[in-house]
Amino acid sequence: MTTAYDLVVRGGLVVTAGAESVADIGVADGRIAQIGGDMSGEREIDATGKLVLPGGVDMHVHLSPVEMDGESVPWADDFTSGSRAAAAGGVTTIGNIGFPRPAERLPELVARLAAEAARDSVVDFVIHPVLMEPDAQTANDIARLAELGHTSLKIFMSIGDFDTKLPGFVEALGEAGKQGMLTMVHCEDSCVIEQATAELRAQGRTGLRHYGESRPTRSEQVAVSRMIAFAETVGAPIYIVHLGSEGALSEARAARGRGQRVYVETRPIYLYFTDEKFAGEDGPLFVGNPPLRGARDRDALWAGLAAGHVDTCCTDHAAWTLADKLDPELTVDTARPGMSELETLMPVLFSEGVRKGRLSLSRFIEVTSTNAAKLFGLYPQKGTIAVGSDADLVVWDPELRRPVVGAQGLSRAGYSLYEGWDVVGAPAQTISRGEVVYSEGAVVAGQGRGRLVGRGPTRDL
């Protein structure tokens, strides 16, 4: 007997981390109900000649304002525009970094941003609360977060007097580990940065062409090394966000070699650009933290991504408009780090990585979806194609040739770092919990259909 489903994706090459075969996929009530065998659907998508991949899981995006020193600084993208860009790029789950308002407790901040995202997002989401002020209540807050299924935390070593509050941060890291949570860490050393920047100021070299010198590689390496030691001390896993240099990667590899749970994320800019960019007229567009490094660093990250020393490639999507990025008044002190990447993450990595033979298709899926889903407690609901999993699928056209035109993108940035790049491979359809949210050039789902995903504990890869 043929089972009738809500949706059938027919004839595609279904690819997961480690396996591929041509099969039909039957979807019922938003979940994958059958893979292979006879089936029919109320709606059918012909995926013949295409790949069917697990939807992207980008656990590092900024779609809510940075709250600091009583000020709220919005990005060009919020949950509305950012989640639409995600859907267009094949990303079906986003992890938003949420900053607390003054005196706001972590569980409150998650509730506030989850409500905003539930109102606006077209794709599913989780919120990573930023711990800025560890205090006597922090351990309780962390236990409460875990209880509510928010199993991650974010710490910045480079902002807000990290070092003066260090004991509190390390205690929080240990508590998070005990609760099965994963702590994301931005590793740059504020002391090294301040010294290097002071020297540039003294020399009158404060323009953005000197951005790389203001945050030298050693500031990342020493921060990674220290954070690994703190994590080892309290026996907690850490996830190093946007790792960008060979030196920092070798610290992480050495710790892993000792059996420590240190996970590594990189992001697109470090794979495609080097610090030579800062010398160009459009140099300010490439300002992000940590800054772009040299060719050796770029090559080390590609090798790490292919070999499994780098676990995820997430965007750190933090969009500014062109005018904001190219503001001639900006200096190394007032720089606006961040770039729009959600729409290009998967297509550019597929084109430059898989098609050019630097990354296997299986690794592509691991680093854009499966690994993040495991690390952030979403697996196997997200990050794979299996019976019982959410039907988060990308019908991927490996031959679709589409030059990047930032102005046509869905991000309000209005430009792309990949302007004019000849990118081959892109989503034909993006499906979230069985609903087509993007099809052939247009987002076809409404604002506010995305859901907060309740999570389990972090798991090893």
Residue ranges in contact with Zn ion by CB under 5 A: 316
- Distances, alpha carbon 356 to alpha carbons 298, 353, 400, 433, in Å: 16, 5, 15, 31
252-261 — which CB contacts under 8 Å span 24+ positions? 252/224, 252/228, 252/309, 253/304, 253/309, 255/228, 256/309, 260/228, 260/231, 260/232, 261/231, 261/236, 261/237, 261/460
Least Å from the CB of residue 267 to Zn ion: 9
Q: Which is nearer to Zn ion, 45 or 153 (CB)?
A: 153
Least Å from the CB of residue 272 to Zn ion: 18
Residue 161, sorted as left (phi over 0), alpha (psi -120 to 50) or beta, turns out to be: left
The residues near 284 (Cβ < 8 Å, ≥ 6 apart) are 208, 325, 326, 327, 330, 335, 336
At 403 the three-state DSSP class reads strand
Q: Which is nearer to Zn ion, 316 or 341 (CB)?
A: 316
Q: Which of 460, 435, 428 has its CA nearest to residue 449?
A: 435
Q: Which is nearer to Zn ion, 64 or 371 (CB)?
A: 64
Least Å from the CB of residue 243 to Zn ion: 12
DSSP assignment, residue 367?
A: I
Omega prior to 337 cis, within 30 of 0: no
Euclidean distance between CA atoms 100 and 262, whole angstroms: 26
Least Å from the CB of residue 3 to Zn ion: 44
Least Å from the CB of residue 386 to Zn ion: 30
At 365 the three-state DSSP class reads helix
At 311 the three-state DSSP class reads coil
Q: Which residues pair with residue 266 across a beta bridge?
A: 313
Q: Which is nearer to Zn ion, 319 or 348 (CB)?
A: 319
Least Å from the CB of residue 330 to Zn ion: 19
Q: Which of 289, 297, 212, 181 has its CA nearest to residue 246?
A: 297
Asked if 9 and 24 count as a contact pair (C-beta separation under 8 A), the reply is yes
Euclidean distance between CA atoms 372 and 40, whole angstroms: 32
Burial tier of 407 (Cβ tally within 10 Å: 0-12, 13-18, 19+): exposed
Least Å from the CB of residue 49 to Zn ion: 37
Q: Map tokens 């790792």 to a residue.
A: 243
Least Å from the CB of residue 372 to Zn ion: 14
Q: Which is nearer to Zn ion, 316 or 390 (CB)?
A: 316
Least Å from the CB of residue 61 to Zn ion: 8
Backbone angles phi, psi at 7, to 5 degrees: -145, 140
Least Å from the CB of residue 155 to Zn ion: 12
Least Å from the CB of residue 241 to Zn ion: 6
Strands (E), 366-443: 393-403, 422-432, 435-439, 442-443
**Residue sitting closest to Zn ion (CB):** 316
